[in-house]
Amino acid sequence: MIVGGGVIGLLTAFNLASEVEQVILLDRGGVGQESSWAGGGIVSPLYPWRYNCAVTALAHWSQDFYPQLAERLFASTGLDPEVHTTGLYWLDLDDEAEALAWARREGRPLSGVDVASVERAVPVLGGGFSRAIYMADVANVRNPRLVKSLKAALQSMPNVTIHEHCEVQGFIREGAKIAGVNTAQGEIHGDQVVLSAGAWSAELLSSLGLELPVEPVKGQMILYKCASDFLSCMVLAKGRYAIPRRDGHILIGSTLEHEGFDKTPTQTALESLKASAIELIPALADAEPVGHWAGLRPGSPEGIPYIGRVSGFDGLWLNCGHYRNGLVLAPASCQLFADLLLGREPIIDPAPYAPAGRF
């Protein structure tokens, strides 16, 4: 049983469905409608060199795996997650030297480029930038389509049951064993319970007397619609980014706000994001955003997710706390989780993500 139907919960279910007798997926709303829908979908941490190596290990595995995951989902559902390899330019970084040193150390294709070449490659880019680094193989995934394709794939599997609008209120305990969950619709039993509830994971674990350091961190974004060839590459400066979709939609993000579970879009954020959009791409001054929304990231210390068994509670597992990188890290996190649950050789060392001793 999997509690939480974001990309982590959906992909966990997808990986397990062919290996176990039955999978039940529960979500408090509609699956994939929270941070998995709201994010930008860059298949890289925004500043990968600033992260702990535990995050880097998951990111590298996922980046290599995403194209084949998208192809598999498209072939089975007809819904294309649109993994779009555009490359990414970082502009005027304060820690450019550290970024380039990280790339040499990790063997990643990141290099310094002159701004004139960036202006030729991205003619709509704003002026005033003096330095740039570039990674050619960075992709973005169209996350709303990713979650739709995952949902469709699961719905086609006879041993998978999805309960939407089914809020989990607590756990069923049989001594030291977690035997299922209590919901507004009644008890639902399961041999193994996986908590993948994003920003709500800590609230659910608190009913067991556990204090998981995962908190909601609000992020707001805006969306423009341009010609399909308007922006050829992702660009990032001063913590804000522009992401082109294949059809000409341009995402601009994002804010970082500690506002509890309030995900109301604000006028202040709208104006700030519009200003960033115009600084990056001046032509957007003549366009009005066609969308503005907010989501809640599952903030965790250093952004390192919790993946594995919860000690002291037989049958309870975590795959949560991915902070800003849920979409980036999902393929590796969910493969690692399946390896641990099924007792297989894990794809990477699971120790940094183990819940034991971390809360």
Q: What is the DSSP letter of 184?
A: T
Phi/psi at 188 (nearest 5 deg)? Answer: -130, 125
Say what the pLDDT of residue 298 is. 97
CA distances from 286 to 17, 127, 242, 282 (A): 48, 17, 16, 8
- For residue range 171-212, what is the model confidence (pLDDT) as tens digits? 999 999 999 999 989 999 999 999 999 999 999 999 999 999
| Contact assessment for residue 134 and residue 118, using Cβ atoms and an 8 Å cutoff | yes
Report how far Cα 325 is from the mean position of its chain's Cα atoms: 4
Pairwise CA distance, residues 114 & 155, whole Å:
49
Torsion of CA 220, 225, 229, 232, to 10 degrees: -10
**pLDDT tens per residue across span 296-351:** 999 999 999 999 999 999 999 999 999 999 999 999 999 999 999 999 999 999 99
What stretches of the chain adopt beta strand conformation (E)? 2-3, 23-26, 83-85, 88-91, 110-113, 132-135, 139-141, 160-163, 168-174, 177-183, 186-189, 193-195, 215-225, 234-237, 240-244, 249-253, 291-299, 306-309, 316-320
**Band of the pLDDT at 258, cuts 50, 70, 90?**
very high
* The predicted structure's pLDDT at residue 196: 98
For the chain, the residue count is 359
Q: Show the tokens assigned to 187.
A: 């008890």
**Fold (CATH) for 2-37+146-214+302-353:** FAD/NAD(P)-binding domain (3.50.50)
